Structure 1
């Protein structure tokens, strides 16, 4: 249920987006949270784009697989980070990815590109990917009020944080903040949560 105009925007300008992300300052705030909360083990980067975060995760010793809905961004990722495995999958279903297969899941500024009604199912699916006790890092760009589209046609859904919080179910929130990203400069909301052990 990925928004088609958003996927088309990424496919049509994949090289430009990949170059822009590569030129941004390193997301050291994200890196600090990963180092604090992620545990050694298989790691998924959902909505990996051109692979910047997946490549960094792999360089830090996390065996990482990147997943994205855009075939052309995945091609960029494979060229830029050949040491990482990349596959096509899209939220909220993430068809072909088994439940309970990852110690860590990263989903950095992705879910706001989904239609609002798909977001709870996407969050539940992200939690389901984790082993019991596994850790999810989830963030999204904050849009106040109504949904918006940028100059590329990408959807930025407007929704309250409670939509995500409620969908986490019995996952334990370890960290939460709303802050300007050190990489993009945009206002983002981020949550780190641990899947229940039972």
Structure 2
């Protein structure tokens, strides 16, 4: 992950977690998960406060939350003590074996990576899926050049072709752009199945 972005999450973990936990449930995303995910072991990569990890687990997708920020993991464990949360960074995902998960959920994370790490990160997300496993991947679509918000978080501008090329050989089930209710920004969503 981009160093300044990680620092922003470390320094403001409680504030970010409070904000995310207080937002209305992302029912549109949860509908997509219900439609495409299969019951089974699920990884939430970039879990933040753990809100979605908890929802996944409560809805039959036995989930483990992973995040690069120790501060966010502390918040997630405090808010959702019955869920497992572990530290991990993209693109490595060190400690996660290949073909470990039926589902991988990665909501608005990869835009916080340097452009040169995006394809490798997507390939690694696919590698930890079991055959016939499903990946939900989304990112904020940033036009033109990279941007940083007031807290220093990176929003990388990159061509979606980087992601699509890394997904070569999988079966894309959904590919859409939507305006996020929480941020008001355009988000690209892809659901794909490993074949």
TM-score (norm 1): 0.97
For 1:113, the equivalent position in structure 2 comes to 112
> 1-side partners of 2:79 and 2:64: how far apart?
14
* 2:50 matches 1:44: no
Q: Give runs of aligned pairs for residues 38-77 of structure 1, distance below 5 A.
A: 38-77=37-76
Given the superposition, is the C-alpha separation of residues 28 and 183 from structure 1 closer, same or farther in structure 2, using an over 3 Å criterion? farther
SS at match of 1:193: strand
The CA deviation at 1:183 is 3.4
Counterpart for residue 16 of structure 1: 15
- Cα deviation, 1:159-181, whole Å, max 9, x if unaligned, reads 11111011112011000101112
Equivalent in the alignment of 2:148: 149
1:103–1:130 CA contact under 8 A, matched in 2: yes
Deviations 1:41-84 (A, max 9, x none): 00000000110110110110111000000000000000111111
What is the match of residue 3 of structure 2?
4
Higher RCO, 1 vs 2 (CA within 8 Å, ≥6 residues apart): 1
The offset of 1:25, in angstroms, is 1.6
1:170 is aligned to: 169
Partner in structure 2 of residue 90 of structure 1? 89
Query: Number of paired residues?
Result: 195
> Unaligned 5+ residue runs, structure 2?
none
Aligned CA RMSD, in angstroms, stands at: 0.7
Instruction: Provide the residue aligned with 1:27 in structure 2.
Output: 26
> How far is 1:119 from its partner?
0.1
Query: Secondary structure, in 3 states, of the residue corresponding to 2:134?
Result: strand
SS at match of 1:132: strand
Classify the secondary structure of the residue corresponding to 2:143: coil
TM-score normalised by L of structure 2 = 0.98
Structure 1: give runs of 5+ residues left out of the alignment.
none
Question: Relative to 1, partners in 2 of residues 1:124 and 1:93: Cα closer, same or farther, differing over 3 Å?
Answer: same
